[in-house]
Structure 1
């Protein structure tokens, strides 16, 4: 057991560990621009992030003239191709992220990722930022099969299994994260600095952090 009594601390990726908003917005805008749609600001795209690329793009299309399935299919492929080629141009960890991960590992915890990003893209961005080796596992939105991305508890359960089991907490920034954690029976911490679809206080998290300097004290309080 660690000094704060959690064996595993899981994290969402976009809007939680990494600020991916600039690169995701660029990919959305590349897709929209390819059919003559108006582009969106990074701040407009941020609340659309969290449910996977297709969900994000569908919201971007709805905001710029409507969304039909055939066009969504076409633009989704364009978005993914562009994003894969430009995945870490602007993306960086949030301030204090790496120090917090180091402290967790030093305390005996395993850290892992459960994201609704496609597993291959999640792995790619972590490789490009030289972060992949820090994590016990990376579970993507497609890892568990159709219909089993967050808010399903399935990827949280799989993260726990791959990380060796034990007392677990989960950190995220969206309702998908909080609902998945609670459905899996683990406490959820919400990041107020993430890509919020709604006020952070409305997510129903067990705790809220405003920065990574607050993570370990928050975990200690939850453990107690």
Structure 2
């Protein structure tokens, strides 16, 4: 047990721990409807997720005809209000996650989150799904002055989790870059909100299912 090579396993949130695409798509479409734009499909929205809700809204507006100045600022609070009120209607942990967390717990490994989602939203979502209390740290996109791909969110997550060898699991180039910048092992989940094939993201390892996570880490 004590020879497990990592003390901490950190996770991105959207598209890594939790499949939030349906609820985020609903929030984007709520905002678009306010200016009589046609709704976007979940498949179109998925690759827009990862740099925070404002970026997602900007991308949604671009995909439906662009936006004149001030529209993002006007719609963003409406999107956030809607999303916060409907944050876990369809969102669920990805298959195998809970069992993987149980195995890491049994090994004495601390688990934590570093996400570009606002910290309050991240805590609310994780709380509603029964995951918040399992995390030694939850670093959001507004917790620090910088967000991923900067190293600081990963480093803060590690510090709050007590320090030690760390692996970081994510689904985007921002996750890989943040892990590299922080000097930790990066793992990409192929089932995430990918904007390109998983192998092109430059992560150290790729998994297809959470059943693979602990055996992979144990062998590193």
User: TM-score normalised to the size of structure 1?
Assistant: 0.96
1:192 aligned residue: 190
Per the alignment, residue 214 of structure 1 pairs with 212
**Structure 2: how far apart are the matches of 1:76 and 1:205?**
32
**Equivalent residue in structure 2 for 1:149, among 144, 147, 150:** 147
Residue aligning to 1:165: 163
Deviation at 1:69, TM superposition (A): 4.2
CA RMSD of aligned residues (A): 1.0
Distance in 1, matches of 2:154 and 2:69, equals 30
SS of the aligned residue for 2:44 comes to: helix
1:81-112 Cα deviation digits (max 9, x unpaired): 00000000000001100000010011010000
Query: What TM-score do the two structures reach when normalised by structure 2?
Result: 0.98
Give, in whole Å, the separation in 2 of the partners of 1:71 and 1:3: 54
Structure 1 unaligned spans of 5+: none
How far did residue 67 of structure 1 move?
A: 2.8
Q: Distance in 2 between matches of 1:196 and 1:97?
A: 18
| Poorly superposed stretches of 4+, deviation over 3 Å | none
- Deviation at residue 197 of structure 1 after TM alignment: 1.1
Please state whether the residue corresponding to 2:177 is helix, strand or coil. helix
